[in-house]
Amino acid sequence: MFLWGTATASYQIEGAVAEDGRGRSVWDTFAHEPGKVKDGHTGDVACDHYHRWSEDVTLMAALGVNSYRFSISWPRILPSGHGAVNEAGLGFYDRLVDGLCAAGIVPAATLFHWDLPQALEDEGGWLNRDTASRMAEYAGIVAARLADRVPIWITLNEPFIHMVFGYALGTHAPGRTMFLDALPAAHHQLLGHGLAAQALRAHGAGQVLVTNNCTPVWAASGAEEDLRAAEAYDVLHNRLFNDPVLLGRYPDLSAFGLDAMPALRDGDLAAIAQPLDGLGINYYNPTRVRAPGDPGILPFEDAGVTGHPTTAFGWPVVPDGLRELLTGLKARYGEALPPVYVTENGCSQADEPGPDGVVDDQGRIAFLDGHIAAVAAAMAEGVDVRGYFVWSLLDNFEWAEGYNQRFGLVHVDYATQRRTPKASYHWLRERIAARATP
Distances (CA, A) of 377 to 52, 279, 327, 345, 372: 37, 18, 9, 16, 9
Q: Is 395 in the site for ligand PNW (CB under 6 A)?
A: no
Q: How many CA atoms lie within 13 A of 314 on its CB side?
A: 3
Find out whether 157 is annotated in a ligand binding site. Answer: yes
Q: Is 53 annotated as a binding residue?
A: no
Identify the helix (H) or strand (E) that includes residue 62: helix 49-63
70, 8 contact by CB (below 8 A): yes
Q: Does 312 bind ligand PNW (CB under 6 A)?
A: no
What is the Cα–Cα distance from 65 to 85, expressed in whole angstroms? 32
Residue closer to ligand PNW (CB basis): 70 or 93:
70
Main-chain dihedrals φ then ψ at residue 113, nearest 5 degrees: -115, 55
Helix 362-380 × helix 423-434 angle, to 10°: 30
Catalytic residue, chosen from 158, 301, 352, 381, is 158
Does 344 participate in binding ligand PNW (rule CB under 6 A)? yes
Return the range that interacts with ligand PNW (CB under 6 A); candidates 90-98, 157-165, 238-246, 258-266. Answer: 157-165
Query: Is residue 138 a known part of a binding site?
Result: no
Distance between CA 255 and CA 252 in Å, rounded? Answer: 8
Q: Does 161 bind ligand PNW (CB under 6 A)?
A: yes
Instruction: State yes or no: residue 189 binds ligand PNW (CB under 6 A).
Output: no
DSSP state of 108: E
Active site residue 137: no
Q: Does 282 bind ligand PNW (CB under 6 A)?
A: yes
User: 60, 398, 406, 410: which one contacts ligand PNW (CB under 6 A)?
Assistant: 398
The dihedral sign for the CA sequence 31, 351, 112, 217: negative
Q: Does 157 bind ligand PNW (CB under 6 A)?
A: yes
Determine, following the binding rule CB under 6 A, whether residue 158 of this chain makes contact with ligand PNW. Answer: yes
Please state, as a whole number, how many other Cβ atoms lie within 10 Å of the Cβ of residue 19: 14
HEC sequence for 131-158 = HHHHHHHHHHHHHHHHCCCCCEEEEEEC
Name the catalytic one among 14, 121, 231, 344: 344
Map residues 406-425 to x or -, x wherever contact with ligand PNW holds by CB under 6 A.
-x------------------
213 is an interface residue for ligand PNW by CB under 6 A: yes
Stretch that binds ligand PNW, among 48-56, 155-163, 228-236, 298-306 (CB under 6 A): 155-163
Residues involved in catalysis: 158, 344
| Residues annotated in a binding site for substrate | 12, 113, 157, 284, 391, 398-399
| Contacting positions for ligand PNW (CB under 6 A) | 9, 12, 157-158, 161, 213, 282, 284, 344, 391, 398, 407
